[in-house]
Amino acid sequence: MKNILLLILGISIIYSCNDSQKLDKATVYYNGDILTMVGESPNYVEALVEKEGKIVFTGSSSEAMKIAGMGHNMIDLKGNTLVPGFIDGHCHFANFGGQAIGAQLLASPDANVDDLEMLISVLKKWNTPENRALTGWIFGTGFDDSVLKEKRFPTKHDLDQVSTEFPIMIVHISGHFAVVNSKGLEKLGINSNTKDPEGGLIRREKNSNEPNGVLEELAAIPFMLEAIAPKSEEALIKFFDAGQDMALSYGYTTAQEGRAMQNQEMLVAMAEMDKYKIDVISYIDYMFVDKHMNSKWNSKNYINNFRIGGMKVTLDGSPQGRTAWRTEPYLIPPEGMPHDYSGYPAIPNDSVLSSIFEKGFINNWQILTHTNGDAAVDQLIRTMKPLKEKYGNNERRDVIIHGQYIREDQLDRAKEMKMITSLFPLHTFYWGDWHKELIGDSLVQKISPVQTAISKGLDVTIHTDAPVALPNLMRVVWTAVARKSRSDKIIGPDERLTPYQALKAITIWSAYQHYEEDKKGSLENGKLADLVILDNNPLKVNVDDIKEIKVLKTIKEGKVVFEK
């Protein structure tokens, strides 16, 4: 009996050892362009070894075989390119699901909604009982008045052609406007007696106080988050999975929710259910910080791949929607606005803004501030600078988000304040031609002045702002390098990045922005094995071919989470 027990024990030990060896098996990546993103110029290695979710070696193939040990896996890159996992400098991950599931209203080349007839047709086709059941609304995202043939916003009258029975909401490509039909206005309780909220505007019919269906800024955003919210757990999971799968297909290994409001509950619920395949960092809108910042999720460490990174403050709107707050008037004001219209602030009172920022400093929260117009940047500088002097600034990495119309003197002030600038060169393609009409040719050459910011010594990232556009980071890299508009005009040639700089801005520089440069952003020993395999090398193809590069695999901590 004793011998039998010893035999059983020995067999179990052998199986246990075999299982352990299987779990500990290393993986070697070889036979491709392995671009580490280490250093000021491109650095390639022959092989990379991953073990237990971390990078344990980069270097020669012969040395990699020794490090990997017995029984390792071999991944032949077949000439493809291996880079660190992508980290978007600013996006809205919680809304990816709405973009993936709702009616797709983007214009060419992302979709085909180039006129109101097609917009109405796409909404009619999407209008099914199954789709309406997800949120209770007919909804779509991404329409762009600057590209539509009619060069105007849709109104309730256009959407009433789709349905007068069910509420409809469509979201502008900027994310700062919504349009609802007559039933939608009724459902939201908006009528001729409804006053405009501070920091928002309800557009009206000509010569009447009756709403025309177009809602701006804080007249739109809270309603958008409520209306396009899943109404059941099943719908919630469907939205989340669709959005996350879209992110994975574009090489994301870390995503950001750049303005969490009511949707923070959804993000937390998915974390509690352990649904995340990538890391997601949430930045809580200043109006919701009291509700969420004292939770366990406000941490430098992820819990089930989710954490809160800090606070978000929004000071103005969007340039393409002409709600960005400028010091000079727009050349073409929105319909019904005076000739000296220059946009408007989201938080008009400086003392109120100062108290919001001070709360962030007292609690040592990283602060992301949305500023598109130069008047908004002025407001940021004059309210935040005294707080940096009062509370100290050595460990802070506060971020200016977008900065479309930021001036050179403001970049100098941002450098003095040790601000990170997460700029948005994607605008040069989508709205470069439109910007020229709005502010003139000389100023448009300086939208998103990324290279100037780098030359002044600022830390820089670039971003998609998705779902403003698709979360396609290769298109972001291309626009930062080419700076071409829809009409193929170069917008600000002096502000073009090199392909290597653009890649750094979505890898190691973005890891730094999120306080994660010791774990992510480059292929170095000890860092997480967050990897992306591309079908071509952005540093070796023609510039215009960068936007055609596809993600073949996305790998999170050694595990393949997407494969084309």
- CA–CA distance from 548 to each of 251, 252, 444, 534, 545 (Å)? 14, 17, 26, 11, 5
The last residue of a domain, from among 47, 79, 111:
79
DSSP run (H or E) holding 204: strand 200-204
DSSP run (H or E) holding 172: strand 168-172
The last residue of a domain, from among 227, 262, 284:
227
The reply to whether 36 and 156 lie within a common domain is no
**pLDDT value at residue 495:** 98
Interval 389-443: pLDDT, tens: 999 999 999 999 999 999 999 999 999 999 999 999 999 999 999 888 889 988 9
30 strand-pairing partners: 47, 76
Residues near 228 by beta carbon (within 8 Å), at least 6 away in sequence:
95, 98, 102, 135, 137, 139, 141, 169, 171
Q: At what angle do helices 374-391 and 408-416 cross, to 10 degrees?
A: 20
Interval 325-355: pLDDT, tens: 999 999 999 888 999 999 999 999 999 999 9
The reply to whether 61 and 140 lie within a common domain is no
Interval 290-322: pLDDT, tens: 999 999 999 999 999 999 999 999 999 999 889
For the cut 90, the answer to whether the pLDDT of residue 100 exceeds it is yes
The reply to whether 71 and 167 lie within a common domain is no
Residue in the block written with tokens 């170069």: 490
| CATH code of 134's domain | 3.10.310.70
Residue 126 lies in a domain: yes
For the cut 80, the answer to whether the pLDDT of residue 2 exceeds it is no
Residues 133 and 232: their CA atoms lie apart, in Å, by 9
Structural domain that includes position 112: 96-227
Residue 544 lies in a domain: no
Give the total residue count for the chain: 564
Mean per-residue pLDDT over the chain, rounded = 93
Residue 17 lies in a domain: yes
Would you state the torsion angle of the CA atoms of residues 309, 405, 383, 459, taken in this order, to the nearest 10 degrees?
50
Residue 202 lies in a domain: yes
Looking at the chain, the whole-number percentage of residues with pLDDT higher than 90 is 87
Residue 49 lies in a domain: yes
The last residue of a domain, from among 176, 202, 227:
227
The reply to whether 107 and 206 lie within a common domain is yes
The reply to whether 128 and 212 lie within a common domain is yes
Residue in the block written with tokens 């300086």: 446
Of 3-17, 80-94, 142-156, minimum mean pLDDT range? 3-17
The reply to whether 164 and 219 lie within a common domain is yes
**pLDDT value at residue 6:** 35
The reply to whether 125 and 214 lie within a common domain is yes
Interval 251-287: pLDDT, tens: 999 999 999 999 999 999 999 999 999 999 999 999 9
| Number of independent structural domains in the chain | 2
| CATH code of 68's domain | 2.30.40.10
Residue 484 lies in a domain: no
The reply to whether 25 and 147 lie within a common domain is no
Residues near 22 by beta carbon (within 8 Å), at least 6 away in sequence:
none
- Banded model confidence at residue 449, pLDDT cuts 50, 70, 90: very high
Query: What predicted TM-score, i.e. pTM, was given to this entire model?
Result: 0.89
The reply to whether 49 and 170 lie within a common domain is no
Residue 306 lies in a domain: no
The reply to whether 101 and 130 lie within a common domain is yes
Which tokens in the block code for residue 209?
């106080």
Residue 290 lies in a domain: no
The reply to whether 53 and 132 lie within a common domain is no
The reply to whether 105 and 135 lie within a common domain is yes
Q: Please choose, from the candidates 284, 292, 183, the residue with its C-alpha nearest in 3D space to the C-alpha of residue 227.
A: 183
